Structures are given as structure tokens and as C-alpha cells.
Chains A and B, each alone.
Chain A
Amino acid sequence: MDTSRSPLEATGFSRKLAATIIIVYMIVTLIPITWMVATSFKSVDSAISYPPEVFFEPSLEGYVNLFTNRSRQPKDYLDSLPPPDTWYEELVRSREMVITGPSKFLPRYSNSLIIGFGATFFSVFLGSLAAYALSRFKVPLKDDLLFFILSTRMFPPIAVAVPIFIMYRKLGLGDTHVGMIILYTVVNLSLSVWLLKGFMDEIPREYEEAAMIDGYSRMQAFFKVVLPQATTGIAATAIFCMIFSWNEYAFAVLLTQFNAQTAPPFIPTIIGEGGLDWPAIGAGTTLFLIPVMIFTVVLRKHLLRGITFGAVRK
């Protein structure tokens, strides 16, 4: 018998089984994403060809279509124009169209960034303050308060869409960045308070007591000593908040139109412009995926530690 291995370690068979399951799962989840990225690099014709093309000639048509508004023109008009200056104009010209201006994708995308990161920041900031208070101080009816905070997530947020719609119209918050940041912050707060309270409970009080004896006020001690030690929890919480705010669709459709519209309600509108422009949709969703992916990868180390935090006493 092989005694060099600890009996707690996995055997060869179970390792292979685990690897197989992970690989199968990975394929299942990655196929749609791969297909989406591939579609974004196809031409419109190749995207709708049957049978579907697995190998294809890459084209940036989708990205050009995503970022521009175009109009179809008669051939003799096109011939009368001076030759195109840029590669993308040439590409559009070859489809018998001219570029009439930039599309709304970039403003919508930057709205998503502003609202997503703004809401994440405030959810985590306010959440950590509330979590610290609930973790450290005697708060009257603390348990009921915590349950109340949790209960706000027991129904889908969209269930209160109508009152919020009316409220926002009266307050003038509809279709504004501030309004969307407030809304997403509020929806995320219950999660962030609960997650962060768990992390705050794990941080020994001695640290902030030491800081207070060293001459710092409680607020200073919180920022200088407690927060740096809660980075794991803050990272994990931030990812959850970011994913929600970034992906949120229903409220965005309902409350935003021109000024503060985010990317999720914008992307489907591409479908309507001149038939099913699958490469442009693929390009939009691919670009949409990138920030949240970078954000998650950057905080990945903390996230993993965050999930297992407190499971084993240090």
C-alpha cells in the first residue's frame, strides 16, 4: 500500500473523476461564450449561414456596426463619393452603406460603467459602515433590524417597480445617473451589510481598541485599522454588487431611456436596425463582458479567500 500519501488526500480515481467533471462543466459553460465571441468576429452573412460556420473568415463588421449608425444608399450615389479614408468606411461602403454617425453604444457603455462602479462603491462603503455598527455596538432591536434588512431581498426587486417608477418620476430621478446609482445601491445594501457583518465579526476588537488607545478616534481606527483588514470581505462583496449592478436589466428598461440608459437595455435595440445584426450583438455582449471579467479576475484571489474565510480558525 502506498503510505506516502495522507489518507485524507484524494485517490487517483477520484482526482480523475473530479477533473472530468470540471472539464465537462467548463465546456458546457464556455460554448455559448465562445460562440458569442466567434459571432462578433463574423460577417453578417457568415453569422446567419446554414449550416453554421465553425471556421470562418474573421471580420470586424460586427464591431463597426456596433459603434456606428449607417444608412443604405443607391450604387450610383456611392460611386459618386470620394474613395473612403478609413478601413471601416471601406467595409461599410462594401455593404452598400455609408456611416451617418457614431452609435449610442459608447455613451450607454460609459453609463453602465459609471452606474455599476458608483453603485458598487456606495453599496460597499455604506454596507461596511452599517456592518461595523451592527457588529460592534449595542443597537436596539439589532436582530429584528438585521432580519428586516435581509427581508428586503426576499422578493424580487422588480416587484416594487411600479412604486419606484412613480416615486422616481415625482422626485425627478427617472433617467438620471444618480437615480440609478441610488436604486442599485439600495438593492445591493442588504447583501453587502450581511456579508460584511460576517467579516467584521471575525476581526478582533483588540485592533481598534489598540488604535483608540494609540490616540485615534473610533472613525479613524475604523478607516486605518478595521477596513484594511476587511479587504477580503470588501472584495467579495464588491464583486457580488458589481455583477448585479452591471447585469441589471428590468429597472434599466423601466427607468432609463436617453440620458442614463445602461448597456443591457441598449444591446437588444441593435436587433431592430436593419434585420438581425448578430455580429453587432455579439460584439456588444463581448465588450459588455470584459469589465466585469477584469474586475472579477483582479479580485479573484480575495474572492476565493472570502468564500472560505472563517471556515478554519487561524
Chain B
Amino acid sequence: MAEIEIKNLHKSFGDFVAVKNSNLIIENKEFFVLLGPSGCGKTTTLRMIAGLELPTSGNIYLDKEDVGYLRASQRDIAFVFQLFALYPHMNVRNNLAFPLKMQKLSRSEVDAKVLEAAKLLRIDHLLKSKVSSLAGGDRQRVALGRALVRRPKAFLMDEPLGTLDAEFRELMCLELRKLHDDIDATTVYVTHDQQEAMSMADRIAVMNEGVVLQADSPKVIYNKPKTKFVANFIGSPGMNFIPIKEKISPSQSSIKLLDSSLNIPEQKEGTDSNENFLGVRPENLKLVSENGVKGNVFGVEYLGSRKILTIETQLGNIKIRVDSDTQVNINEQIQFDTLNNNQIIFDGSNDKALQSEFMS
């Protein structure tokens, strides 16, 4: 297993820049997720690590060895495709044995390794089946089996659960993570589904428009997003952004909001711009009976364990998470306030989060 390092990686297709000067270090035995909306460059990054695309410039190191411009077959990595790409003209056994046949192993060694991988994934009873007769989940397992049978240095997965139905996807998330831990793998996993990313990853890199915006543990990504995009993209719903018309100076610890003032974590950075944003997660707001921000209930989304309220206020539309048994009606006048001090100020000029007591 191995460490993967990406240095100043750049890829353009004609005029379109898919990946812009990205830097990442994926540590040994890490489950690393590349997360972002479609077209953000996450799949291109993965394909460059795999050798299916060559970088326009930059380097990729696999175990300190520069592999950026080597052929895919010379890199000792495995790739799991979104549509599995199982060879339809071979049965399950031959699909699993296919990567081994290139390694000049004896027949019995190949058989032993195929059986070991099949047992690990509980598909040993399917070895003689045709690929076309398998259910989605079993195909997924065969695809994983084909990847791990060779024990490569790293596993690369391109939205491997994208085509499975929701129920099965949750199960596979658990299994994938367990498999990763059992075989001490280094895994790079691409998805646009934050749920998958949050539940499996050791670290997540959020990408947008070809740029890696932040690479951190799921908890840090969620609670302390470094940019407005990450704050909005992660979380469902995303963070609320309230415009603040004042310049922020270092060590400032309150801001003016409407007619009152609001305490914020002590800032360690200031801004030049006087158009900034206060970021606050829906669960860090609460309904109050007095002295809060007044608003009009615009929408109520019932989500089982909780409700998301959309409130029309003078500050714009604000989302609040409340308990699902809270009684609120559409168009009701309510008041809300902050629940804690977990607010983040984003610099309006570059959308970056300012350093503060809370952020550090």
C-alpha cells in the first residue's frame, strides 16, 4: 500500500481547464474522498492518478515514484468504474482472474487468489455465473474483487455506488469501508454524494471548477469550511449566509445585524471589503419567543427526525433546523436566535472564511 502525492497537477482539454494546479497528499491506508459537483474535475484527477489521462503539467507520486506520465498498466493501481466494466464475455471467475493472468502466475496461484478475493467479498458461490446474470450488488462485488485480487498499491473508485439503489448503497458504504480497513488499502474515492463521502472518508477533498478548495476530515469540512462554496455544498441544507454591511477588523467579536448586535467568535483576521457574509448552519439557530430576528415561515420540510423551516426575513431567506414535533404553520410570524457561537465570517471579496477563535 502506498502514499499518493499530487503536485501542481494541471489538466486542460483544449480551452477547458479541468484541473487547476492541484496539490494533495493522500496518506498510506487512508480512505480519501474527492467530492464535488459534476464537472468539478474530481473524475479527471482520479483518471490522471490511474493513468487513463495524462496531465498537461504537474506530477503524481506513488510511493515517492513519479508515475504521472507512465502507462496505466505500469502503475500497479486498481480502478473500479461507475458502470463496473465487467467483461461480459467472461464468467465471474475469469473476470477476477483477468488481472492475474498478466502477472505470469501459475494456475494454482491464480485460482487460490481468485478464491481468496471471492470469499472476502462473499461471491465464491457465483464464480461460475455469467456476469450478465448477476444482480447490481453482486456485479459491484465482482468489480471490487477484480480490483483487489491483485493487491495493488492503491484503489481508485469512480462513483462505484452511483448506480445502486438507495438501500443497497448504504449497505455497500459500510462494506466498502470495512473492506478498506481489513486489507489496509489506500483508497481514493470519487463521488458527488456528500452522504457517501461523510460516512466513509478519513479525509475529504472538496473540489469545484478544477480547484481543490479544502482537504480535511469530514468533521472539519462540515464545521469549519474554509470557503463559502464548501459551506454551502456540504450539509443538507447548506449553510445560511447573511450579508453584513460592515468591514471586519481583527479581534472584532460582535457585528451589527439589523438594529441589534450579535456576538461572534473573536476574529483573528480582518477584511478590506465591507460586504461580507455571516455563515451559520441551520442547526445552530433556534426558535425563541422574544428578542430574536423576526420572520415569516415560508416553507416547512418534514424530514422524519427533524424539520427544516425556511423563514423570510429582512436578512433574506434563512433555514433553521428544528425538532420534528415543533408545531409551525406556513406564514406564521416567528422569531429566532443563534444557538451557540459557531458562526463563521466569510470575506465578501474572495469568499474565504476568516480565521477566528472558532475556526482555529
Say if A and B assemble together: yes
> Is the beta-carbon distance between B98 and A214 smaller than 8 angstroms?
yes
Closest Cβ–Cβ distance, residue A228 to chain B (whole Å): 4
**Chain B proximity mask over A193-222: 1 for CB below 8 Å, otherwise 0:** 000000000001011011111111100000
Chain B contact-residue range equals 20 to 34
- Interface residue total, chain A, C-beta cutoff 8 A: 15
A172 to B255, CA, bound (A): 95
Instruction: Indicate whether A48 reaches chain B with its CB closer than 8 angstroms.
Output: no
A228 to B95, CA, bound (A): 14
A204 to B84, CA, bound (A): 11
Partner of B85, one of A209, A216, A217, A228: A209
Known: A206-B81, A229-B89. A213 touches B102 (CB 8 A): no
A215 to B85, CA, bound (A): 15
Instruction: Indicate whether B103 reaches chain A with its CB closer than 8 angstroms.
Output: yes
> Is the beta-carbon distance between B88 and A214 smaller than 8 angstroms?
no
> Is the beta-carbon distance between A213 and B89 smaller than 8 angstroms?
no
> Is the beta-carbon distance between A213 and B52 smaller than 8 angstroms?
yes
A213 to B76, CA, bound (A): 8
> Is the beta-carbon distance between A210 and B85 smaller than 8 angstroms?
yes
Q: Is the interface of A mostly helix, strand, loop or mixed?
A: helix
Partner of B73, one of A212, A225, A228: A212
Partner of B81, one of A210, A212, A216: A210
> Is the beta-carbon distance between B98 and A228 smaller than 8 angstroms?
no
> Is the beta-carbon distance between B85 and A207 smaller than 8 angstroms?
yes
Known: A207-B85, A228-B89. A216 touches B73 (CB 8 A): yes
> Is the beta-carbon distance between B85 and A214 smaller than 8 angstroms?
no
Q: Is the interface of B mostly helix, strand, loop or mixed?
A: loop
B79 and chain A: residue at smallest CB distance: A213
> Is the beta-carbon distance between A206 and B89 smaller than 8 angstroms?
no
**Chain B proximity mask over A139-183: 1 for CB below 8 Å, otherwise 0:** 000000000000000000000000000000000000000000000
Name the A residues within 8 Å of B51 (CB-CB). Answer: 212-213
**Chain B proximity mask over A211-247: 1 for CB below 8 Å, otherwise 0:** 1111111000000010011000000000000000000
A214 to B78, CA, bound (A): 7
A217 and chain B: residue at smallest CB distance: B73
> Is the beta-carbon distance between B50 and A213 smaller than 8 angstroms?
yes
Name the A residues within 8 Å of B99 (CB-CB). Answer: 214-215
Name the A residues within 8 Å of B50 (CB-CB). Answer: 213
> Is the beta-carbon distance between A214 and B102 smaller than 8 angstroms?
yes
Partner of B98, one of A206, A211, A217, A229: A211
> Is the beta-carbon distance between A213 and B78 smaller than 8 angstroms?
yes
Can you identify 5 A-B contacts, CB atoms within 8 angstroms?
A209-B85, A214-B78, A214-B150, A216-B102, A229-B89
Using a CB–CB cutoff of 8 Å, the interface residues on chain B facing chain A are 50-52, 71-73, 75, 77-79, 81, 83, 85, 87-89, 98-99, 102-103, 146, 150
5 other A-B residue contacts (CB within 8 Å) besides A210-B87, A229-B89: A209-B72, A211-B87, A212-B52, A213-B77, A215-B102
